[in-house]
Amino acid sequence: MKVSSMAAFEVLAISPDDPNAPELFSKSLRGTGFAVIKDHDIDMVEISDMYDVWSKYFADEAKHDDATPGSDPAGYFGYKSENAKGRTQKDLKEFFHVYQSRDVPPDCEAVTRKFHASLIGLGETLLGWLDQVTPPEVASKLSMPFTRMVEGSQDHLLRVLHYPPLPDDVEPGEVRAAAHGDINLITLLVTGSEPGLQAQDVNGDWHDIPCGTGYINVNAGDMLAQASHGYYPSTVHRVINPPKQENRARYSLPLFMHPRPDVRLATQTAGEFLQQRLKEIGHAG
């Protein structure tokens, strides 16, 4: 099934039960950098519980106590704390970074740990699909199969994102999330509570990424593009501001799948690549 069907930009919706799922997934990522997974095992109740506990968390000013200093990648990040690479204006979002071995707010802990583990499991399945179908001439250049790159990784970042309703004083050019490529191997994004996510095609045109209930969007990040020498392109995407009559909060839940830091991508290790990119987006340092 095509969920976005401009000739140049075809995001496929794939069911894990389809025997051709690995090929379709690879085809969709190759064509657009994006794919959509439907009929997965992640429970809708789990997803709505996540939105429930985290909307309460962001509504409480005590969140500021969870801000971590300087270069620490975990914890709470306040409104307008991150910019896309190459931009000075900050994104109109706040977020909390969850890692497997780092603290999570007690009221969010149980549901978040379970959700994080479920998404990591799905992400490992998807990387296994890529290992199955990536052609030998590309696979032979990898330092190891994708699934091995993430074995034992403690760096799979679950970002709980809150985009508040836009304030009246938004400046020209300020957006919820400016155009960027993700740093990691693949991103699994439970579709946002509101629309707004768009991806750019090779001609520079923007396309809405479908936000159907229960869909999980997957996109290739820069580490996958590096390791595969461009076979899987990392597609630039953004989150646009809502029209005035739909100026509501938006939540989304991307999981960024990261290799262990010592894994070689192409010329750099995953750890070296990550540190360089974190500086460029206004973290670390």
Ligand X SMILES: O=C(O)CCC(=O)C(=O)O
Q: Of 82, 91, 94, 182, which one interacts with Fe ion (CB under 5 A)?
A: 182
Instruction: Answer with the entry of ligand X, Fe ion, none that 239 interacts with (C-beta below 5 to 8 A by kind).
Output: ligand X
- Residue 278 exposed, middle or buried by CB count within 10 Å (0-12, 13-18, 19+): middle
Pair of tokens at residue 133: 């179908």
| Residues contacting residue 273 through CB under 8 Å, at least 6 positions apart | 183, 222, 223, 226, 265
CB of 253 to Fe ion, least distance (A): 12
CB of 176 to ligand X, least distance (A): 7
Please give the size of the binding site for ligand X, defined by CB under 6 A.
Answer: 11
CB of 197 to ligand X, least distance (A): 4
Q: Where do the DSSP E strands lie in the chain?
A: 2-6, 9-14, 34-37, 75-77, 94-98, 157-163, 177-180, 186-190, 197-200, 206-208, 216-220, 237-239, 250-257
Q: Does 239 contact ligand X by CB under 6 A?
A: yes
CB of 230 to ligand X, least distance (A): 20
Burial 17-38 (b: 16+ CB within 10 A, else e): eeeebbebbbbbbebbbbbbbb
CB of 218 to Fe ion, least distance (A): 12
In the complex, which residue's CB is closest to Fe ion? Answer: 182
Q: Which of 63, 277 has the CB closer to ligand X?
A: 277
Distances (CA, A) of 108 to 47, 52, 58, 175, 187: 12, 9, 11, 28, 22
Instruction: Answer with the entry of ligand X, Fe ion, none that 192 interacts with (C-beta below 5 to 8 A by kind).
Output: ligand X
Q: Which stretch binds Fe ion (CB under 5 A): 177-185, 203-211, 245-253, 262-270?
A: 177-185
If phi over 0 gives left and psi between -120 and 50 gives alpha, with beta otherwise, what is residue 69? Answer: beta
- Which residues ranging from 179 to 218 are in contact with ligand X (CB under 6 A)? 182, 189, 192, 197
CB of 18 to Fe ion, least distance (A): 26
Per-residue interface string for the shown chain with ligand X, residues 131-170, x marking contact by CB under 6 A: ----------------------------x-x---------
Q: Which of 134, 252 has the CB closer to ligand X?
A: 252
Residue 256: closest CA among 125, 78, 119: 119
Instruction: Answer with the entry of ligand X, Fe ion, none that 227 interacts with (C-beta below 5 to 8 A by kind).
Output: none
Torsion over CA: 18, 21, 27, 28 (sign): positive
Residues near ligand X (CB under 6 A): 159, 161, 177, 182, 189, 192, 197, 237, 239, 252, 254
